Structure 1
Amino acid sequence: MTFLALSMILTKKITEQKKNLSRIFLFGFVLGLTVLARIDFMLIAVTVLFTLLFTGALSKKEFVLILIIIFFTVLPWLYFILITQGSIIPSSASVQTGFTSVEFSYRIDQFFYSMFSNYLPWLHSGQTQSIIIYLAALIFIGYLFRFQKVFVKKFFQIPVIKYWSTGIIIISAVYLAFASQPYFFFRYLSVNMLIAIPFLALLILNLLLNRSKKFKYTFISIVLFVFFINTGYYFHYPKQVTSLALRTAFLEENNFFNKKVGMAQSGISGYFFDNVINLDGKVNNNALNAIKVNYLYNYIARENISILIEWKEWFDNLPSSDLKRNWQISDNQIKDNKTLVMIKK
């Protein structure tokens, strides 16, 4: 996110024609670092560059030069991925890309919840309580439509905002269509903060302009109060990562040391237990190959995995008939209202 913000600042300089060769090199290098941070940000980088080219902010030579700089910035990493995985696309990206069997309503819910959350930074409701976010978002949109139409129009006429909004909208649409794990939308769509933060900052400044001191102090006090209340609530609300950490204690308490345990999100448990097998393909090339040809269940059977621990929605990726026939829900469960433990019959 830091590199994206730096790229936005440099984009602003370029749109103001405050550019020279060193700044062009710096812009290309920072965009390259952005792509290194997340390979999918290449889509944003290319979109922004094309908008700068078509609007005349960049010449064709400058456009090509920046692309070359980006390429050579990411080249060592691409080479490393190629020699270790046999592809320039890392497994962490390919395993989370593709059409999914997850029901459409769940995908849409996670998408809009995650999108709206960026514009409601003082409100944390937990991912299972998206109705709160929807109600707050509708009220906020209604307020903008009724009282701030001029401000919204002027904001999105700012060149740097217009160009980056285009890239962010495109990548958000790609996530909606192709991301195979909707429960990660909250993380993917955090890129919208690049627009949300300046939007909210300018909106608040516009709201406080020419107001009395009493109004300003009252408004600031309310914002601070809501912020600290929600911060306290957030830090005491179970996060997604909490359930991942609980798995290690669960494995130890149930003495699952000599049985093969399969998990998609295996990072924490796999660090402590050698019998944990990764099933999302991020650190297991055999699992990745099985996922690509839709043979993950066959891989689980071949590896003689006898325990499956994962978020409930992950099991939708496995054949329901095979699960019912060969697996059963364990009497012992991780009490996080999110994870399901199944054992082989």
Structure 2
Amino acid sequence: MSFIYAGLILGLVYRLFPIVAGQPYLSQFFMTEDGYLMLTVARNMAIGLGMSVSDGTIPTNGVQPLATFLFAVPYWLTGGDKVQSLVGIHLIAASAAVGGVFVVRALAARVLAPRDDDPVWPWLVALLWFVGPLLLDHTMNALETGIYTFVAVLALLKFAQVLEKGATVSMRDCLALGALSGITFLARNDGAFLVTAIFAVWALDSLFRQGIGIARTVGRLVPPGVLSLLIAAPWLINNKVNFGSIVPISGWSQAFGATFGQNLHLIPIKLFEHMFPMLPVPTSMENSPFVIWGCAAVVLGVMGWFLRAVWIKGGTIRLVVIAYVLHGIALSAYYGLNFGAPHFVSRYLSVLAPLLIIAALWCGMDLFRAVTGERWRTVLRLASVAAVVLSVALLGRPFLPGANGQGHFQVVDWIEANVPSDVWVGAVQTGTLGYWHDRTINLDGKVNPEALAALQTEGDILNYVSKSQIIYLADWHGIARWVEKNDFDQVFEVVTHQPEINLAVLKRRGAP
């Protein structure tokens, strides 16, 4: 267990490193482009500008509500200080990850107990989740990912408790599950898949295993179901009344232009990476049919073996596993078939990592026992140490020469050096830029309803930009090609184009 504790301490120290190191690590080490979008909204809420972007002038719902409200707290405490508040953001993310360790361990203990009740195995699952390089980044990205995993697993644990109590379960426990279900939805809207799976399995269990009848089943499930809807309702009403759809604008934006099934090839790869956190697949190999089908075979083989074994072992925990698997199937289908943004698929599926790691460990136990006999525990522990060491070693990649870093601060640096704070700037990618330069207008529609409407009706953003108050366009160097389209060069001209640092800036002609 000392090895487990050492790994957990190392994972926590790594998460807190930006706070100790200060700038530029504080603002760049974990912070992502979309994370800064959420932080911009959180800051505006804290300083009285409401849920908005662009210096408070554009209302938006392009965020996940629970994390945004939590992230608003540091800005409220610091009066909106953009640098000092990042300390609080890192602490919130690290705290959610630490909480995740304990709930993941608790879930693993319940699932693995029928197979082997050695306490080291649940802690190993939690440790691999905590120090896996991709999962660590996902939980510290200034987005909702870590918080979502924490509350989703917490809801599954409560579901396990409710099922264990069976016909004697109290309404208090049922309402607690309903409350956690509502909070899971607020943590991330696709949590609706998990909530639906939990209530469906719960209903079937009440009807067939417990045999309590339809009337009692309805009486048991309706109050927590209504409570979960009441918790979610303010967000849904806000979305529908103010933005015309219960789906946030960011969801519409990321689905815009997507073709059916465009992400399907990524699903087995990302599931494999979360099943074996120490084995991330290089991006250059993600389109290889051999890698795709190989990952699919491993994931399906492991999950098939695991589900069969869990079902045979019996107990109510298998129903919790089924609900979790149904959630995974729904997520895989939704993001694989009907969504864009392939670079986000790993993050979208990371909530499944605890289940996938548990499944891999279960199969590892069976495999090592078959191969090594009575020595399987010793051999598996050694293999586990190697897996954790590899995960930790991969955490050093950001410090290697030539590491790409955050990827957007060259845009921020140019704007801060050349553009007054009261001048309007536009960009497709405005998370990082919009955080550090308040008067920034988003052009991909993630947080800007007007830009999304222009994309949907006109097919591009050029006319919208031409009629806007934008003076500068600043983004990655590909934006320089905008002057080649539809006489846009009559409105804007390129003032800097530096592909070597991935930067281009356009300026409105005639502007001072």
Q: Do the structures match in fold with TM over 0.5?
A: yes
Q: 1:29: which partner in 2?
A: 179
Out of 164, 169, 172, which is 2:332 matched to? 172
Structure 1 residues 39 and 149, CA gap change in structure 2 (3 angstroms) = closer
Q: Is 1:307 matched up with 2:457?
A: no
Map of 2:254 onto structure 1:
96
* Distance apart, 1:216 and its partner CA: 4.4
Residues 398 and 405 in structure 2, CA contact (< 8 A), matched pair in contact too: no
Relative to the length of structure 1, the TM-score reads: 0.77
Residue type matched to 1:184 in 2?
F
Instruction: Supply the distance in 2 between the matched residues of 1:144 and 1:127 (Cα, whole angstroms).
Output: 22
- Provide, for residues 190-224 of structure 1, a one-character-per-residue CA deviation record: whole Å limited to 9, x for no partner: 12214213213333444555326753453234223
Query: Does residue 52 of the first structure (1) align with residue 218 of the second (2)?
Result: no
Q: Secondary structure at the match of 2:429?
A: coil
1:93 deviates by 3.0
- Map of 2:362 onto structure 1: 202
Equivalent residue, structure 2, for 1:280: 444
List alignment gaps of at least 5 residues for structure 1: none
Structure 2 length normalisation: TM-score? 0.55
104 and 53 in structure 1: CA distance in 2 versus 1, 3 angstrom threshold: closer
- What whole-Å deviation, never above 9, does each CA across 1:2-55 have from its counterpart, x for those lacking one? 111011112223333443211100110000000011122213211331233234
Deviations 1:60-99 (A, max 9, x none): 2223222201111122333444565454433233323345
Matched, 1:193 2:353: yes
1:243 to 407, 420, 429: 407
Structure 1 residues 143 and 129: alpha-carbon distance in aligned structure 2, compared to 1, 3 A threshold: closer
Distance 1:77 1:323 in 2: 42
Cα deviations across residues 315-340 of structure 1 (Å, max 9, x unaligned)? Answer: 99x999549977898631363xxx56
Q: How does 1:140-151 map to 2 (within 5 A)?
A: 141=297, 145=301, 150-151=305-306
- For 1:223, the equivalent position in structure 2 comes to 387
* AA partner of residue 179 (structure 1): F
Cα 1:239–1:41 shift into 2, 3 Å: farther
**Residues 155-193 of structure 1, C-alpha deviation per residue, up to 9 Å, x if partnerless?**
466222122211221122112222232221121121221
Q: CA RMSD in A?
A: 4.1
Larger deviation, residues 9-18 vs 124-133: 124-133
CA distance in 1 between partners of 2:380 and 2:416 (Å): 54
Contact 1:27/1:66 (<8 A) preserved: yes
Q: Report the Cα distance in structure 1 between the residues aligned to 2:485 and 2:364, rounded to whole angstroms.
A: 55
Greater length-normalized contact order (CA 8 Å, ≥ 6 residues apart): 2
Report the residue type matching 2:462 in the other structure.
Y
Letter of the structure 2 residue corresponding to residue 297 of structure 1: L
Q: Does 1:70 align with 2:228?
A: yes
Amino acid at match of 1:34: T
Aligned residues of 1:116 and 1:133 also touching (Cα < 8 A) = no
Q: How many residues align?
A: 336
Report the Cα distance in structure 1 between the residues aligned to 2:186 and 2:330, rounded to whole angstroms. Answer: 19
Identity %: 20
DSSP-derived class of the 1:331 partner: strand
Specify which of 147, 150, 154 is matched with residue 309 of structure 2. Answer: 154
**Residue aligned with 1:289, SS:** helix
Question: Is 1:331 paired with 2:494?
Answer: no
1:114 aligns with 2:270: yes
C-alpha distance in structure 1 between counterparts of 2:225 and 2:252, whole Å: 23
Q: Letter of the aligned partner of 1:67 in structure 2?
A: G
Question: Does the Cα contact within 8 Å between 1:297 and 1:319 map onto a contact in 2?
Answer: no
How far has the Cα of 1:231 moved from its partner?
2.3
**What's the counterpart of residue 265 of structure 1?**
429
User: Hey, what does 1:233 align to over in structure 2?
Assistant: 397
